[in-house]
Structure 1
Amino acid sequence: MRTPRLLLTALTVVVTLTGGLVAGTSGERAEAAIGPVTWSDEFNAASGAPVDGTKWKFDIGGGGWGNNEQQYYTDSTRNVYHDGQGHLAITARKENPAGYQCHYGTCQYTSGRILTSGKFSQAYGRFEASIKIPRGQGIWPAFWMLGGGDWPNTGEIDIMENVGKAPNTVYGTVHGPGYSGGEGIGGNRSIGAPLADGFHNYRVDWSPNLIVWYLDGSEYFRVTPSNLGGDRWVFDHPFFMILNVAVGGYWPGYPDSTTSFPQTMLIDYVRVSAWTSDGGGGGGALKSAMNGRCIDIPAANPVDAAPLQMYDCNGTAAQQWSVNADGTVTAMGKCMDAAAAGTANGTAIQLYTCNGTGAQRFTLTAAGDLVNVPAGRCVDIVERNSANGARLQLWDCTGGSNQKWTRG
C-alpha cells in the first residue's frame, strides 16, 4: 500500500509486457492454473457482529503507517463489523471519542485495518474479493498482501487500491527491494463510472514468476522478473492479506470540504484458491519427452538424498508426483530437491524431506520445462542418457527433449 512508481494504462500494459511472455523461452514463468478454494470468508454473520477472530486480527494505532496517514486504526465494531446483509463493513469516521493520539497530535479520524497474518498465508493461487469501495477526497481503500515483516525485502502485492481523487481508477502494484514506496511497479484500469457506485471483483492470479491483475475478470496488468530492471523478485513465498480504509496520506492527499463522513468499504467475500501447474495438483507420472521413461525414486525407498533417476514407467508410488500449489513436487511424502540448495549447472536433483526452501520450488511450464524457481534452470537428464537409471540435474534451459516433461 504505497505510491506506485509506474502507473500504466491497460493499453500500455498489453503492448509493453506481453512481448516477454512467450511460453518456453527459458521457463521464465507459468500461467496460473486454479485449484480448489483454500480459504474464504463470506461475511454472513449477524448485524453488528465483529470480524471472525479465527481468520482475522487487527492492526491498531495512529503512527502514520509510513505514509503520513491521518487515521487511528481501532478494533472497535464502530469501525469493523458485519452489516447483517452478507457484508463486512470497514468504516472511517471523523471522530476521536477515546482521545487517540496520532503521529501529528490528537487524531481526527478512526478506521479499521484487518489482516490474516499468523492465521493464514499462501504462496501462489488466486486471491480475490468483491468490494464496494468508499469515496471522497483523501479516502484510500485497499486490499493487499505482505510477505512478512521485513518490508520491502519480503515483498508487497497490492491487489486493489483507489484514491478518492481518481474515483474511476483501480491500481495494482508490487513493491520489493529497489522498487518500494514511490518506486513501486504497477498498472491501473479506469472505467466509465466511480468504482464506489457498486461492487467489483478485484483479483490477482499469482504463479511462479508471474502475477496478473484483474478487474471484474478482465486482465489489466501483469508483472514478471523481467519487468524489475534487474531488481530482486521476492514473490516466491507465502503472503498474508490485509483490508483497510486509510484517511489521508502522501499519495491520496487529505480530506477537504468536499469529503463527507462516515465512509464505508463493504466486502461481500474474500476467497483464496490454490495454484497448481497441472490444473489439478493430483499425483501422476512425470514422463520424459526424450525416451518416454518416468522420474523415479530408486528402489521406491524415500530416504533423504536419494538421487532421482529415469526408469520405465510402472505406475508405482515411486513415480507418482504431485505438482503442488506451493511450488513443491512431491512423491512418497517427500520433495524433489536441488542438492545442497545448489543453483549452478550440474546440481543433482534428489529427494529430500520437505522444508520450504527455494531448493524445493519448481514450476512445470506450459512448454513442458520443469524449472527450479531460484535457479531459473531446468531439470535435465544428464548427458541425454536414455537408459534406466539415468540421473537428473539442473541445467540451463535449452528446449531439448531431455528437458521436456509431460504429466502421465
Structure 2
Amino acid sequence: MFRSRIRLRPSALLLAVVVGLAPAVVPPDGTAPAAAAIGGITWQDEFNAPAGTPVDQGKWRFDIGGGGWGNNERQYYTNSTSNAAHDGQGNLVITARRENPGNYQCHYGYCEYTSARLLTAATFTQAYGRFEARIKIPRGQGIWPAFWMLGNDMGSVGWPNAGEIDIMENIGREPNTVYGTVHGPGYSGAGGISGSRTIGAPLADAFHTYRVDWQPNLIVWYLDGVEYHRVDPGRLGGNRWVFDHPFFMILNVAVGGNWPGYPDGTTQFPQQMLVDYVRVSGYVPDGDPGTTRIRGQQSGRCIDIPGADPVDGAKLQIWDCNTTAAQAWTFAADGTIRAMGKCMDPAWAGTANGTEVNLVTCNGNPVQRFTLTAAGDLVNLSANRCVDVRDWNPNNGGKLQLWDCTGGANQKWSRY
C-alpha cells in the first residue's frame, strides 16, 4: 500500500520536503557484517559529560527559531540546556517542553513548545561510511524525532539537489515503526524513496541502534543491525543520484507538523530523546588496486571462471579457492567486477530471479554494475538482487544466479 506524507523540514535554509512512503523491505539478515566497505571510526560523540553539561560545540551547533520550519511545526528550537544537555548517565538528552505562550515568537503567533535541533554542518561532514546512533526515542501523538543528513552543498545547489538521507524518523501515532528515506532531484516530494520496519513493541520503550551503511551507488538502512531498506541508482527511475559528496548530520525532536499531526490530550510533556552515542566510520573503497578472490560464506569456495576459459557467456561457478587468473577479480571504479579481461554480467541483461551470472565482454551497460556491501551481499545494482549460489549447492561447480536478497549464507561473500 502506498501512503504519502508531507513533512516540510528546513535546515538553516528553508527546505520543502514531501515524502512518499513505498516500503521496500529486504528480508532480515542476522549474519555478521563482512569487512568489505566499512573502516575505522572517523567521528564520534559518546556523551559522557557530567549532568547538565551543554553539548560539545566543537562537534554540534544549533538551528534556532520558531518559524514552523516549513511544516507548520509548533516548537521553537533553542540552544538552552533545558532543551539539550548531558544527563550524566552517558546520554545526550533532547527535551521537548510545553511552555507558556508568549515566551518565543513564532511566525503564526507564540510557540507553545520548545525543543532542540543539533547539526554538524560547521564541524563535520563525510561522504560514505557507516552513520549510526543508539537512541531511545520519545513518544506521544504529535512527537517527531529524527536522525538524518543533508548534503554539504545545500547553500549552493539547494534542496533537493543537495540530497537528503533520513536515517531514522518516527511519528508518535505509529509508535512501533521506523522510517528510512532518501530525497533528491526528481524523487523528492511524493517520490521520496522510503522504507520502514515495524517491531512488536514501541520503539520508545528501549534503546535501539539506527544506522545506514553508505557507499558509492548504494545506501542500506538497519534497525538493531537488521537490514530493512536499500536504495541504489536503479531505484531512481533514471533520475540523478546525488549521494556522492559529503553530508552533515542532524538530531532533532519536532512537535507537530503536517505529517505527524499535533499533540492532543493524550500527549504528555516533557518528552525526551536519549542519545547514547553517535558514531561515524570510514569507507574502504572496493575499487582499490589489485585483484582479490571472492569467497562464499556457505561453501568456503571462490567465484571462478570454468576451465579458466574467458569465453563470452561462461557460466560463473564456485570452486576451491586458488591463485589462478580464473579467480583474480578486480572491483573497478565503474562498478564492474572483472577477471581475465572481461566482466561479471547477468545473462542477456536480465534482472529477474534466476538470471544466470556469466562472464561477458565489458560493454558499459549499467547491468554490469555490482557492489559488495558491508553485510556481504554481492548486489547487482540494476536488478537490486543478490548473487546467489543456485539450489544452495556448496560443491565445486555450483552455478551462480541473481535472486532476491534473503540474507542466506549462499548469498554472502567476502574478499579473500
Report the identity percentage: 67
| Equivalent in the alignment of 1:100 | 104
| Equivalent in the alignment of 1:188 | 196
| Equivalent in the alignment of 1:142 | 146
Q: Answer yes or no: is the 8 Å Cα contact 2:101–2:111 preserved in 1.
A: no
Write the letter of the residue equivalent to 1:5. Answer: G
TM-score by length of structure 2 reads 0.65
Give the secondary-structure state (helix, strand or coil) at the position aligned to 1:65: helix
- Aligned residue among 40, 48, 59 for 2:52: 48
- Aligned residue among 227, 241, 246 for 1:233: 241
Q: Answer yes or no: is the 8 Å Cα contact 1:55–1:116 preserved in 2.
A: yes
- Report whether the alignment pairs 1:250 with 2:258: yes
Q: Answer yes or no: is the 8 Å Cα contact 1:135–1:164 preserved in 2.
A: yes
- Report whether the alignment pairs 1:368 with 2:336: no
Question: Which contiguous aligned blocks of 4+ residues in structure 1 show a shift greater than 3 angstroms?
Answer: 376-383
Indicate the RMSD between aligned Cα atoms, in angstroms: 3.2
- Aligned residue among 2, 19, 23 for 1:8: 23
TM-score by length of structure 1 reads 0.66
- Return 93-102 or 48-57, whichever deviates more: 93-102
- Aligned residue among 104, 113, 123 for 2:117: 113
**What are the residue-to-residue correspondences of 1:205-284 with 2, within 5 Å?**
205-278=213-286
Q: Answer yes or no: is the 8 Å Cα contact 1:32–1:205 preserved in 2.
A: no
Q: Specify whether residues 222 and 287 from structure 1 end up closer, same or farther in structure 2 by C-alpha distance, changes over 3 A only.
A: closer
Give the secondary-structure state (helix, strand or coil) at the position aligned to 1:241: strand
Number of residues of Structure 1 aligned to a counterpart in Structure 2: 295
Q: Answer yes or no: is the 8 Å Cα contact 1:130–1:267 preserved in 2.
A: yes
Q: How many Å separate the matches in 2 of 1:14 and 1:58? A: 37
Give the secondary-structure state (helix, strand or coil) at the position aligned to 1:196: helix
Q: Answer yes or no: is the 8 Å Cα contact 2:329–2:338 preserved in 1.
A: no
Query: How many Å apart are 1:285 and its aligned residue?
Result: 4.8
Deviations 1:238-272 (A, max 9, x none): 00000000001111001111111000000000000
Give the secondary-structure state (helix, strand or coil) at the position aligned to 2:333: strand
Q: Specify whether residues 245 and 225 from structure 1 end up closer, same or farther in structure 2 by C-alpha distance, changes over 3 A only.
A: same
Q: How many Å separate the matches in 2 of 1:120 and 1:174? A: 20
Query: How many Å apart are 1:380 and its aligned residue?
Result: 11
- Report whether the alignment pairs 1:396 with 2:369: no
Structure 2 residue ranges without an equivalent (≥5): 1-8, 10-16, 29-33, 294-327, 343-361, 369-414
Deviations 1:59-79 (A, max 9, x none): 001111121111110000000
Q: Specify whether residues 288 and 7 from structure 1 end up closer, same or farther in structure 2 by C-alpha distance, changes over 3 A only.
A: closer
Query: How many Å apart are 1:7 and its aligned residue?
Result: 3.5
Structure 1 residue ranges without an equivalent (≥5): 16-29, 290-365, 384-393, 400-406
Q: How many Å separate the matches in 2 of 1:121 and 1:104? A: 34
Query: How many Å apart are 1:181 and its aligned residue?
Result: 3.3
Q: Answer yes or no: is the 8 Å Cα contact 2:330–2:337 preserved in 1.
A: no
**What are the residue-to-residue correspondences of 1:117-128 with 2, within 5 Å?**
117-128=121-132
Write the letter of the residue equivalent to 1:66. Answer: G
Query: How many Å apart are 1:206 and its aligned residue?
Result: 0.4
| Equivalent in the alignment of 2:87 | 83
